[in-house]
């Protein structure tokens, strides 16, 4: 850690928001750990993560594993036709095709599986689990991932005729763009990253997204990359990311959060310190649009995002809530803003 714990806390300049406890000294305090009796603990990105948490909790209470909870919880969000950033209802790429990224990790055995740029399959998280459990590989991409899914019995939900028309439209658009400036990637992008600590203290996590809207065909973000969009370490904890993948994957963001927890930081402090470290080095500073959630083996949890932070969902045996993360909105070392 390049900042001592004390100087880190003293120099933290955080947006103080609902769900963040504020001490008398005005310093944002990390959420307290649920007591052991409140386990399992499920933490996920965004308010729509709550539906995943609630489904995952049911799986765990019925005797399922943390890994089952991750797969089935994320499956609920992937199946939600109204979700415009996860699953087949998600945002298409610049060619008008929805290409999905997902990964899953099991702390038990330190196993991982991943798929990227997968087309026409409803549950990429389940395909990722199948890659992990039935192949000697970790990651399959594009047409190979799709062929694997079909061989494994996943239903195809795309039509070649639709794809052909979309590609033709894309070529027409590209030709027009070459004369003008290329279209920027879409701004609207929200990924489900879900990390789970079972009552048996086993940890698992998963991540699923349609990625940035209007991305170039074949672009892969952070979400299916182990260590970037998700990382699970059964000795320490787990972390997941959402936001602009390019700003996470250049730094192995989720791995970094877990490593800060390994050094003793609370999950929330680990998320904050990761963002601050990236911002110190990155030419964009804090203009990164990145967010992390994390939990540790002791059942503590937290989250942080750039700017004003972001909403995330926390579920235990006793409650299921949407909280607001602190926002890291000033570079390290800047004078603290006036606090309430």
Q: What are the residues binding ligand SD4 (CB under 6 A)?
A: 189-191, 209, 211-212, 221-223, 242-245
Q: What string of H, E and C letters represents the secondary structure of 59-105?
A: HHHCCCCHHHHHHHHHHHHHCCCCCCCCCCCCCCCCCCCCCEEEEEE
Q: How far is the CB of 175 from ligand SD4 (least distance, A)?
A: 26
Angle subtended at Cα 81 by Cα 79 and Cα 83, rounded to the nearest 5 degrees = 95
Give min distance, CB of 220 to ligand SD4, in A. Answer: 8
**CA 190, CA 192: separation in Å to the nearest integer?**
7
Question: Least separation, in Å, of the C-beta of 306 and ligand SD4?
Answer: 12
DSSP characters over 139-160: EEEHHHHHHHHHHTTPPB---H
Tokens of 279: 């911002």
Cβ proximity to ligand SD4, 202 vs 210, nearer residue = 210
- CB closer to ligand SD4 out of 13 and 249: 249
Answer yes or no: 20 catalytic. no
Q: How far is the CB of 29 from ligand SD4 (least distance, A)?
A: 26
Cis ω for the linkage preceding 319 (within 30 of 0): no
CB of 190 or CB of 269, closer to ligand SD4: 190
What does the longest C-alpha to C-alpha distance in the chain come to?
Answer: 63
In degrees and rounded to multiples of 5, residue 54 shows phi and psi of -65, -40
Q: Which is nearer to ligand SD4, 96 or 186 (CB)?
A: 186
Q: Which entry of 45, 191, 306, 316 is annotated as an active-site residue?
A: 191
Residues designated as active site: 191
């Amino acid at each position: 850690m390049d900042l001592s714990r004390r100087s880190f806390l003293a120099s933290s300049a955080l947006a103080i928001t609902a769900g963040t406890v504020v001490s008398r000294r005005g310093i944002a305090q990390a959420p307290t750990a649920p007591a052991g009796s409140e386990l399992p603990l499920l933490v996920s990105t965004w308010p729509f993560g709550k539906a995943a948490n609630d489904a995952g909790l049911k799986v765990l209470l019925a005797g399922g594993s943390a890994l089952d909870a991750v797969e089935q919880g994320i499956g609920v969000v992937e199946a939600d036709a109204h979700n415009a950033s996860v699953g087949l209802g998600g945002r298409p790429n610049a060619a008008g095709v929805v290409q999905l990224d997902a990964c899953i990790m099991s702390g038990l055995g330190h196993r991982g599986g991943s798929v990227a740029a997968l087309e026409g399959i409803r549950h990429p998280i389940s395909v990722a689990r199948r890659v992990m459990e039935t192949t000697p590989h970790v990651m399959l991409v594009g047409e190979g991932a799709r062929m694997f899914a079909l061989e494994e019995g996943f239903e195809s939900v795309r039509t070649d005729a639709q794809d052909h028309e979309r590609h033709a439209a894309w070529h027409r658009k590209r030709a027009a763009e070459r004369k003008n400036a290329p279209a920027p990637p879409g701004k609207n992008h929200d990924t489900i990253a879900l990390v789970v600590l079972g009552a048996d203290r086993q940890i698992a996590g998963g991540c699923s997204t349609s990625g940035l809207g209007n991305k170039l065909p074949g672009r892969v973000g952070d979400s299916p990359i182990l260590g970037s969009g998700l990382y699970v370490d059964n000795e320490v904890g787990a972390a997941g990311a959402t936001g602009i993948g390019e700003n996470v994957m250049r730094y192995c963001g989720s791995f970094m959060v877990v490593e800060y927890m390994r050094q003793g930081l609370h999950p929330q402090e680990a998320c904050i310190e990761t963002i601050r470290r990236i911002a110190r080095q990155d030419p964009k500073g804090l203009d990164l649009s990145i967010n992390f959630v994390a939990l540790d083996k002791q059942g503590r949890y937290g989250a942080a995002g750039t700017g004003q932070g972001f909403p995330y969902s926390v579920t235990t045996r006793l409650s299921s809530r949407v909280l607001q993360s602190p926002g890291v909105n000033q570079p390290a070392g800047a004078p603290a803003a006036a606090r309430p």
